[in-house]
Amino acid sequence: MARKIPSLSALRAFEAAARHLSFRKAAEELNVTHSAVSHQVKGLEEQLGVVLFNRSARSVMLTEEGAFYYPILRDAFDRISDGTRFLTATGSPDVLALQVYITVAMNWLVPRLHDFQQAEPGMQVRLSTSYLDWEFDRNDADLAILYVRKKQQDLQYVPLFDGVLYPVCAPALVDGDEGIKSPQDLGRHSLLRVYTAPEEWDDWLAAAGVPELAEAPGPTFDSYILSMKAAIEGQGIALVNGPWAMEELRKGRLVKPFECEIRKPEGWCLVYRKDRRNDPSIKRFQNWLVKQIARDSDFEDILCA
């Protein structure tokens, strides 16, 4: 008996739109137009004979029928993804696909990966970096190290360390009589922003008592590592979230012009799907990662309890 299943493209469009609660974000993920996603979802609704989304000018929300259908499709796509990854992992199930930001990879993780390989010679790590997305890539990652702003119910979050914001700049910008002496002096320099975290300068400037400088001009980068590189070159002041500038501070290529740091309510976490929380490979990497962070003095003051 033939299975009565809608088209795969329509199901993918609905699953992505339901996960993001956004047709626009679903279109970006699937690399199609907004209207294509809308058309696919509309066709699926007509085929099923139910309305899956309540639509308004500013948002979409799942109906009762949509909320019923979404987890079924999400789990089905996850199983397909897991099976595909298993079959394509060069014959080995012990290949961990790890998603991290480029700054975390370059300034901390990569120099330590050899330690993991020595501790777990039977496992391989496939490392991928992202400039643009703060969300877990459930289609191409087993686990990720992310700065978590909003949690999803189907994901497991292992707190690693707190978010902490602090500015850094080249030593030349603080030297001499004309150097930076107070937060007010930042108005004479470019503020180097990271466009995946546009609110961070606003938060720090408000805490430093100079919220009016939030409109100060300056270039925008897609990662902390690029904004720090620009700061090293004397192009302005970068803001860092986490201990990623510590090595450059020790080398004297960057300095902290002020002691003002602010803790963020969000934090850095190891993230993976809840249905894989008992996966031995993920557990081994998690245990190794937690130990590495605990023994690193750069994290001493921001470790999660």
Q: Where are the domains of the chain?
A: 8-82, 88-162+265-299, 163-264
- Alpha carbon distances (Å) from 186 to 167, 180, 181, 197: 10, 7, 9, 19
Residue 105 scores a pLDDT above 90: yes
pLDDT at 243 over 90: yes
Q: Using pLDDT thresholds of 50, 70 and 90, give the confidence band for residue 86.
A: low
The pLDDT tens digits for 107-156 are 999 999 999 999 888 888 999 887 555 677 776 789 999 998 888 888 89
DSSP state letters, 11-36: HHHHHHHHHHT-HHHHHHHHTS-HHH
- Among 5-9, 75-79, 130-134, top mean pLDDT goes to 5-9
Q: pLDDT > 70: what percent of the chain?
A: 94
Topology of domain 8-82, CATH: Arc Repressor Mutant, subunit A (1.10.10)
Exposed / middle / buried, residue 30 (Cβ in 10 Å: 0-12, 13-18, 19+):
middle
Mean per-residue pLDDT of the chain: 89
Mean pLDDT of 93-100: 84
Among all chains, which residue has been given the structure tokens 């877990």?
136
Q: What pLDDT sits at residue 208? A: 94
- Tokens 């739109």 — which residue? 17
Q: Do domains 88-162+265-299 and 163-264 have the same CATH topology?
A: yes
- Residue 88: which of 137, 130, 129, 140 has the closest Cα? 140
φ, ψ dihedrals at 34, nearest 5°:
-60, -45
Task: For the beta carbon of residue 76, count every other beta carbon within 10 angstroms.
Answer: 12
Tokens at 43, concatenated: 């066709």
Pick the CATH number of 163-264 from 3.40.640.10, 3.40.50.2300, 3.40.190.10, 3.40.50.720: 3.40.190.10
Predicted confidence (pLDDT) per residue in 189-217, tens digit: 999 999 888 889 999 999 999 999 988 88
At 144-190, the pLDDT tens digits run 999 988 888 888 999 999 999 999 999 999 998 788 999 999 999 99
Contact between 70 and 15 under an 8 Å Cβ cutoff? The reply is: yes
pLDDT at 1: 54
Homologous superfamily (CATH) of 88-162+265-299 is Periplasmic binding protein-like II (3.40.190.10)
Distances 286 to 119, 191, 242, 268 between C-alpha atoms, Å: 13, 36, 19, 13
Instruction: State the pLDDT at residue 83.
Output: 74
Give the model confidence (pLDDT) of 32-41 as tens digits: 999 999 999 9
Q: Helices 8-20 and 23-30 sit at what angle, rounded to 10 degrees?
A: 130
Query: Containing H/E element for 88?
Result: helix 64-88
Answer whether residue 285 shows pLDDT above 90.
yes
